[in-house]
Structure 1
Amino acid sequence: MNHQSIYRTKTRMHQVGRKLVLFIGFVFIFVGYLMAYQKGLPLLERAKASKEWPTTDGVVLESKIESHHSSNSSSSTYSPKVIYRYEVEGQKFKGDTVWFGNDVSTSDRSMSSKTVKKYPVQKNVIVYYDPAEPAVAVLEPGVFKTTYFFYLFGWLFLGLGLLMTSGILFRSLLRLFRGPTEIQQSADSAD
Structure 2
Amino acid sequence: MDVELKFLIVGFACAIAGGLSFITFVKWREVQAMSHWLPAPGKIISSRVEAREVRRSGVGSDSSDTTEMRNFPAITFEYKVGKKKFQSSRYSVKENLGNFEVTETLAQFPTGAEVTVFYNPADPGKAVIERTLPDGAFKFMVKLSAGLVIGTVVLVFLLGGVLEAIRPHLPKPQNLGAGALLLFMGLMILRMAFVQKSLAEQASKWPVAPGRIDSSGLQALRNYSGHRRWSTVFKSRIVYSYGVAGQHYTSDRVTFGATVTALMPGLVSGQARSYAEGGKVDVHYDPANPASAVLECSVRGLWLLWVCSAAFLGGAAWLVGFI
Category of TM-score, reference length = shorter chain: 0.5 to 0.7
Q: Of residues 183, 189, 195 in structure 2, which corresponds to 1:42? A: 195
Q: Quick check: 1:87 aligned with 2:243? A: yes
Output aligned runs, 1:41-190, within 5 Å. Answer: 41-66=194-219, 69=223, 71=225, 78-101=234-257, 103-105=259-261, 109-110=265-266, 112-142=268-298, 146-164=301-319, 166-167=320-321
Q: What is the SS of the residue equivalent to 2:276?
A: coil
Q: What is the SS of the residue equivalent to 1:49?
A: helix
Counterparts of 2:186 and 2:243, CA distance in 1: 37
Tell me, which stretches of 5 or more residues in structure 2 are unaligned?
A: 1-171
CA spacing shift, 1:143–1:60, aligned 2, 3 Å: same
What amino acid is aligned across from residue 79 of structure 1 in structure 2? K
CA spacing shift, 1:22–1:62, aligned 2, 3 Å: farther
What amino acid is aligned across from residue 176 of structure 2 in structure 1? L
Greater share of strand: 2
Q: What is the SS of the residue equivalent to 1:42?
A: helix
Counterparts of 2:220 and 2:186, CA distance in 1: 26
Q: What is the SS of the residue equivalent to 1:46?
A: helix
Q: Quick check: 1:33 aligned with 2:181? A: no
Q: Which moved more, 1:147-156 or 1:39-48?
A: 147-156
Task: Report the CA distance between 1:126 and its aligned residue.
Answer: 1.5
Tell me, which stretches of 5 or more residues in structure 1 are unaligned?
A: 1-16, 171-191
Question: Percent of aligned pairs with the same residue?
Answer: 28
**Larger RCO, structure (CA 8 Å, separation 6 or more):** 1
TM-score, with normalisation over the residues of structure 2? 0.38
Counterparts of 2:251 and 2:302, CA distance in 1: 17
Task: Report the CA distance between 1:143 and its aligned residue.
Answer: 5.6
TM-score, with normalisation over the residues of structure 1? 0.59
What RMSD, in angstroms, separates the aligned Cα atoms of the two structures? 3.4
1:62-120 residue CA offsets vs partner (Å, 9 max, x unmatched):
43324564625999764322222223223443322212336234577445212112223
CA spacing shift, 1:75–1:129, aligned 2, 3 Å: same
Counterparts of 2:279 and 2:208, CA distance in 1: 16
Counterparts of 1:142 and 1:123, CA distance in 2: 21
Counterparts of 2:252 and 2:305, CA distance in 1: 18
Q: What is the SS of the residue equivalent to 2:256?
A: coil
Counterparts of 1:138 and 1:64, CA distance in 2: 17
CA spacing shift, 1:87–1:110, aligned 2, 3 Å: same
CA spacing shift, 1:28–1:61, aligned 2, 3 Å: farther
For the 8 Å contact 1:101–1:149, the answer to whether it is kept is no
For the 8 Å contact 2:209–2:283, the answer to whether it is kept is yes
Greater share of helix: 1
CA spacing shift, 1:93–1:42, aligned 2, 3 Å: farther
1:112-159 residue CA offsets vs partner (Å, 9 max, x unmatched):
212112223443321012334433322122466x23332332332222
